[in-house]
DNA sequence: CTTATATTAAACCCTATGGTTGAATATAGC
DNA sequence: GCTATATTCAACCATAGGGTTTAATATAAG
């Protein structure tokens, strides 16, 4: 049985409910960033951005490691997995009524997966042999 | 390209950030309920529960149809699908982390094997490159 | 040592949130 | 029509949220 820690889910969903924070997560998915780098694109004081980062950190979605006077933030996706796990239970309820958009998305996913599969087959070689 | 309506995601994630509301959704996933039925298990005034239901409704997670003096609420899962779709983008990052973990374990295994083979030979390898 | 940079802390301002209680509305049943 | 039931509305309260500005802290660089 899957156990959900509600304090964790509370914090994660709350963290995700703000568009600034979601944008920060997205930028972190591209690469690690310092606090000021993260703050830059938002029309907001550094202190304000710092608060958002702390919310993300408190929810376990971001980890920071301090290097001198700069704080480097990195995405930590595991808690997102928990949120998705919670949502997964509800799949059965929307799968019954897939609309066109969903169909299209799924088709795209399949296409991408297929493409990736082919590329793996022909394109990518193992980098290292694992010696036994 | 998947387009996310941030007002919608804001509302959905916010709605999900409260344990009472998540519990309500779960009960609705079992069957439709009237407002008072939904309110019953929570240690809370009816008006309080009613507010929660309105938050869920505003987020598009619950639909109600009024029948005489009773309001019957039903789960509407489509918006949950949107939330999950948003989260799906991040799957690659937690899967990647698992892959990394696997790599690390495998590397450790190799290191152990090596060590065992050569007994107590000297020389330490660089642990980890920080990737950009 | 002094100054500049990166970040947080503190104090404050509004507004939103989650909760309450008590009155209002609508409908059902007698 | 009168009364009981189902639900919301309105007013209120306390606290959390998102934002600001002005220190304060820590480290880097002259």
CATH topology of domain B6-84: Arc Repressor Mutant, subunit A (1.10.10)
Query: Tens digits of per-residue pLDDT, A101-112?
Result: 555 555 555 555
The pLDDT value given to residue B55: 98
As a three-state string, the secondary structure of chain B is: CCCCCHHHHHHHHHHHCCHHHHHHHHHHHHCCEEHHHHHCCCCCCHHHHHHHHHHHHHCCCEEEEEECCEEEEEECCHHHHHHHHHHHCCHHHHHHHHHHHHHHHHHHHHHHHHHHHHCCCCCCCCCCCCCC
Distance A53 CA to D20 C1' (A): 17
Query: Tens digits of per-residue pLDDT, A75-88?
Result: 999 999 999 999 99
Six-digit token pair at A109? 């996913």
Query: Tens digits of per-residue pLDDT, B76-96?
Result: 999 999 999 999 999 999 876
Residue A87 and residue B80: Cβ atoms within 8 Å?
yes
Residue B131 reports pLDDT greater than 80: no
The pLDDT value given to residue A112: 55
Chain-centroid distance, C-alpha A68: 27
Distance B32 CA to C24 C1' (A): 27
* Cβ neighbour number for residue A86 with a 10 Å cutoff: 23
Q: Is the C-beta atom of B16 closer than 7 angstroms to strand C?
A: no
| More confident site: B88 or A122 | B88
Q: CA nearest A90 in B: which residue? A: B77
Cβ contacts of B53 within 8 Å, gap of 6 or more = B24, B35, B38, B62, B64, B73
Name the residue with tokens 């963290």: A15
Residue A87 and residue B89: Cβ atoms within 8 Å?
no
Considering chain B, what is the average pLDDT of its residues? 82
Residue A126: pLDDT band with limits 50, 70, 90: very low
Residue A3: pLDDT band with limits 50, 70, 90: confident
Residue A13 and residue B13: Cβ atoms within 8 Å?
yes
The pLDDT value given to residue A129: 38
Cβ contacts of A15 within 8 Å, gap of 6 or more = A21, A55, A56, A58, A59, A61
Query: Tens digits of per-residue pLDDT, A4-52?
Result: 788 899 999 999 999 999 999 999 999 999 999 999 999 999 999 999 9
Which of A1-15, B92-106, B110-124 is modeled with the greatest confidence?
A1-15
Q: CA nearest B6 in A: which residue? A: A19
A113 vs B: CB within 8 A: no
Residue B110 and residue A131: Cβ atoms within 8 Å?
yes
The pLDDT value given to residue B129: 38
Strand-pairing partners, residue B62, are B75
Residues of chain B found within 8 Å of residue A86, distances taken between Cβ atoms: 22
Q: Which of B12, B104, B109, B102 is CA-nearest to residue B55?
A: B12
Residue A120 reports pLDDT greater than 50: no
Assess contact for B24 and B56: CB atoms under 8 A. Answer: yes
The pLDDT value given to residue B111: 56
Residues of chain A found within 8 Å of residue B97, distances taken between Cβ atoms: 77-78
Q: CA nearest A23 in B: which residue? A: B6
Residue A10 and residue B19: Cβ atoms within 8 Å?
yes
Residues 52-81 of A with CB under 8 A from B: 75, 77-78, 80-81
Residues of chain A found within 8 Å of residue B75, distances taken between Cβ atoms: 90, 93
Chain-centroid distance, C-alpha B41: 23
Q: Does domain A6-79 have CATH number 3.40.630.30?
A: no
């Amino acid at each position: 049985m899957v156990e959900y820690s509600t304090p964790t889910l509370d914090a994660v969903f709350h963290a995700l409910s703000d568009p600034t924070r979601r944008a920060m997560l997205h930028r972190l998915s591209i690469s690690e960033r310092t606090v000021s780098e993260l703050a830059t694109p938002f029309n907001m004081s550094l202190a304000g951005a710092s608060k958002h980062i702390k919310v993300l950190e408190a929810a376990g979605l971001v980890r920071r490691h301090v290097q001198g006077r700069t704080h480097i933030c990195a995405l930590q996706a595991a808690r997102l997995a928990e949120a998705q796990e919670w949502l997964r239970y509800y799949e059965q309820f929307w799968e019954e009524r897939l609309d066109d958009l969903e169909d299209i998305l799924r088709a795209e996913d399949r296409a991408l997966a297929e493409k990736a599969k082919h590329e793996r087959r022909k394109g990518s070689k193992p980098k290292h042999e694992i010696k036994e």
